[in-house]
Amino acid sequence: MTDETIGFVGLGIMGAPMAKNLLDAGYTVVGHNRSQEPVDEHVAAGGEAAATPKEAAERADVVIMCLPDSDVVTEVMRADDGVLAGLSGGEIVVDNSTISPTVTEELAEEVRERGANMLDAPISGGETGAIEGTLSIMVGGDEGVLAEVRPILSAMGETVTHCGGNGAGQVTKACNQIVVAGSMVAISEALVFAHKADADLQAVVDAISGGAAGCWALDNRAPDMIRGDFDPGFFASYQYKDLRIATDAGEAYGSPMPQTELAHELYKAMEQTGRGMDDNSGVMQIIEDLAGTEARVDE
Amino acid sequence: MTDETIGFVGLGIMGAPMAKNLLDAGYTVVGHNRSQEPVDEHVAAGGEAAATPKEAAERADVVIMCLPDSDVVTEVMRADDGVLAGLSGGEIVVDNSTISPTVTEELAEEVRERGANMLDAPISGGETGAIEGTLSIMVGGDEGVLAEVRPILSAMGETVTHCGGNGAGQVTKACNQIVVAGSMVAISEALVFAHKADADLQAVVDAISGGAAGCWALDNRAPDMIRGDFDPGFFASYQYKDLRIATDAGEAYGSPMPQTELAHELYKAMEQTGRGMDDNSGVMQIIEDLAGTEARVDE
């Protein structure tokens, strides 16, 4: 079933390799991007070009968006030359962006009013996952609609999980970020403390990784953290934005999240101290600022 | 080298099976416990009995303690019939209890004054790990001293990691609990939020377990949490005590730990709401109390 035409809006760091994987899978992909260069590269890779999101939607059976935030997605959907204006009925809009669950619920309703369907389908796995087609895709919306586009999503990601109705994909992505941030902050507090108490930081990491404290961040980030290597990875700025989505949604759904609110404040400090382009594990530096020390192994 | 005699003080849930593993490895183990029944069982299993911690120390080359908290360890060490009074010089005292890093540093100094050596060697892995001899043992103290007792520790645990000087074992155990608690609270906030937002809880767990949010608690506790099964495992009361050790040590060493302080407050609430004997993942119930809901899957 690669005879569908896919409109792809947002050919950025994530979107461009995802569109490329769809081309490689044999789909016709009509790409649009605010700036022109990524569109030219998409065409050079065998894709087609659309001048506006509306045109991409008009020519497509399935419209994929991969955009930075709620405001941009809302603008790209609702503008006069936007996606909604290009829908004639029967299309499926798939939003791979990470945005507010409540905003995506509103947009899904507006898509339904046009006789089409929408899925929120935020992704995790980073640029590497986008390039290698190994993303994890968390989907909210109708299960039957997901079944129709599952082959398309499977061309971009390794794991495609249906998490509930419209918004549930974004809720799941927020849950992901809540847990990631909780572990980043915990590891930061632990390692700065261990350094102050004169323990061997690498030994601490080794000793606790195999048991109940074991986690991805301890395996994949802690060894770099204690060497002061905060190269991204996943930008602290993005984590900050994603935690704001989580805490705003916590407000909207009436779910208290004291630890996540605290993490949000610490990532706000990352932004304010000019460290937004560090990896999100770089939040250790905020704990270090508070402790008046740097927790580093001697090498 | 199983010709050493081991004194073993504290034949509780953890201590009894650990002493049993030492007997099975061929050591002579002189056991003492405040109440008599565990001593009788130890003798029935092939061990010997000491009437006081002092006697256990007098008859031993290596004295192991496995006790509930800093106060009990201090009392067992310093009492007139305590371990310190039984040391004649050259012994090695191994404390498998989880206690304050600063208290263990003081005790190590008092042991040195008697011409003996001490290691702090707190354990993780729970009752199962104690029975099966698969504990993780985090050791602080002199590396040469550790080398002498490593065969003994290896009879009780699978992983024995030297983490630094006296106190570093306790510091590492505190780091372990900081990271465990951070993930338990994060998962709790995420799942209660996901429930309020009407997402499929099992799907949320499945979708985020494979990526950067992946952790032991998500794999081993979350499936029970969303079914309201908070059977221990590791008591919330113990986590509460261990987090107080961590935050007190953070105070002593001057290391701010805002997230861990918050977790400590949430486990205080576990205690105050009569849930101390639940598993430490049961902290989800505190977030549920705050949210006015229970986050459970329909079954």
Which residue on chain B is closest to A212 by alpha carbon?
Answer: B216
Chain A residues with CB inside 8 Å of B183's CB?
Answer: 179, 182-183, 186, 213, 215
pLDDT at A1 over 60: no
Which residue on chain B is closest to A263 by alpha carbon?
Answer: B259
Average pLDDT, chain A: 97
Kindly determine whether residue A182 and residue B186, on different chains, have CB atoms separated by under 8 Å. yes
Smallest Cα distance from B252 to chain A, Å: 9
User: pLDDT above 70 covers what percent of chain A?
Assistant: 99
Size of the A and B interface in Cβ pairs below 8 Å: 271
Kindly determine whether residue B178 and residue A164, on different chains, have CB atoms separated by under 8 Å. no
Chain A residues with CB inside 8 Å of B105's CB?
Answer: none
Q: Which of A259, A267, A285, A293 to mutate to test the interface with B (most CBs of B within 10 A)?
A: A259
Give the C-alpha separation, A208 to A48, whole Å: 51
pLDDT at A109 over 70: yes
- Residue B162 has, within 13 A of its CA and on its CB side, a CA count of 12
Smallest Cα distance from B184 to chain A, Å: 9
- Residue B221 has, within 13 A of its CA and on its CB side, a CA count of 29
Q: Is A268 left (phi over 0), alpha (psi -120 to 50) or beta?
A: alpha
| Structure tokens, A52 | 């506006």
Which of A211, A220, A255 has its CB closest to that of B192? Answer: A255
Length of chain A: 299
Per-residue pLDDT, averaged over B173-182, amounts to 98
Give the C-alpha separation, A50 to B77, whole Å: 79
Kindly determine whether residue A164 and residue B198, on different chains, have CB atoms separated by under 8 Å. yes
Kindly determine whether residue A200 and residue B287, on different chains, have CB atoms separated by under 8 Å. no
Could you give all domains of chain A from N- to C-terminal order, each with its CATH number? 5-165 (3.40.50.720), 171-291 (1.10.1040.10)
Helix B236-253 × helix B168-196 angle, to 10°: 120
User: pLDDT above 90 covers what percent of chain A?
Assistant: 97
pLDDT at B298 over 80: no
Question: Is residue B28 helix, strand or coil?
Answer: strand
pLDDT at B197 over 80: yes
pLDDT at A132 over 90: yes
User: pLDDT above 90 covers what percent of chain B?
Assistant: 97
In the numeric block, the tokens 């916590």 are attached to: A250
Kindly determine whether residue A216 and residue B216, on different chains, have CB atoms separated by under 8 Å. no
Cis peptide before A10 (omega within 30 of 0): no
Give the C-alpha separation, A8 to A29, whole Å: 7
ipTM: 0.96
pLDDT at B299 over 70: no
A146 CB burial (10 A radius; 0-12, 13-18, 19+): buried
Kindly determine whether residue A200 and residue B258, on different chains, have CB atoms separated by under 8 Å. no
pLDDT at B1 over 60: no
Smallest Cα distance from A158 to chain B, Å: 11
Q: Which of B144, B138, B186 is nearest to B162 (CA)?
A: B138
Kindly determine whether residue B168 and residue A198, on different chains, have CB atoms separated by under 8 Å. yes
- Close Cβ partners of A136 (under 8 Å, ≥ 6 residues apart): A123, A124, A125, A129, A157, A158, A159, A161, B207, B208, B210, B211
Q: Which of A100, A135, A193, A238 to mutate to test the interface with B (most CBs of B within 10 A)?
A: A193
Which of A191, A198, A253 has its CB closest to that of B164? Answer: A198
Kindly determine whether residue B254 and residue A196, on different chains, have CB atoms separated by under 8 Å. yes
DSSP code, position B59:
T
* Each residue's pLDDT tens digit, B284-293: 999 999 999 9
Q: Which of B137, B193, B216 to mutate to test the interface with A (most CBs of A within 10 A)?
A: B193
Q: Which of B52, B59, B58, B61 is nearest to B9 (CA)?
A: B52
Per-residue pLDDT, averaged over A211-237, amounts to 96
Smallest Cα distance from A68 to chain B, Å: 20
* Each residue's pLDDT tens digit, A152-180: 999 999 999 999 999 999 999 999 999 99
Per-residue pLDDT, averaged over B192-208, amounts to 97
User: Would you please indicate which residues of A are annotated as catalytic (active-site) residues?
Assistant: 173
* Each residue's pLDDT tens digit, A80-107: 999 999 999 999 999 999 999 999 999 9
DSSP code, position A197:
T
| Structure tokens, A116 | 């089409």
Q: How confident is the model at residue A150 (pLDDT cuts 50, 70, 90)?
A: very high
pLDDT for the residue numbered B215 = 97
Smallest Cα distance from B109 to chain A, Å: 17
Q: How confident is the model at residue A299 (pLDDT cuts 50, 70, 90)?
A: low
| Structure tokens, A170 | 């974004």
Which of B189, B200, B253 has its CB closest to that of A260? Answer: B189
Give the C-alpha separation, A126 to A86, whole Å: 30
| Structure tokens, A73 | 């997605």
Per-residue pLDDT, averaged over B182-209, amounts to 97
Which residue on chain A is closest to B222 by alpha carbon?
Answer: A179
3-state SS track over B146-195: HHHHHHHHHCCEEEEEEEECCCHHHHHHHHHHHHHHHHHHHHHHHHHHHH
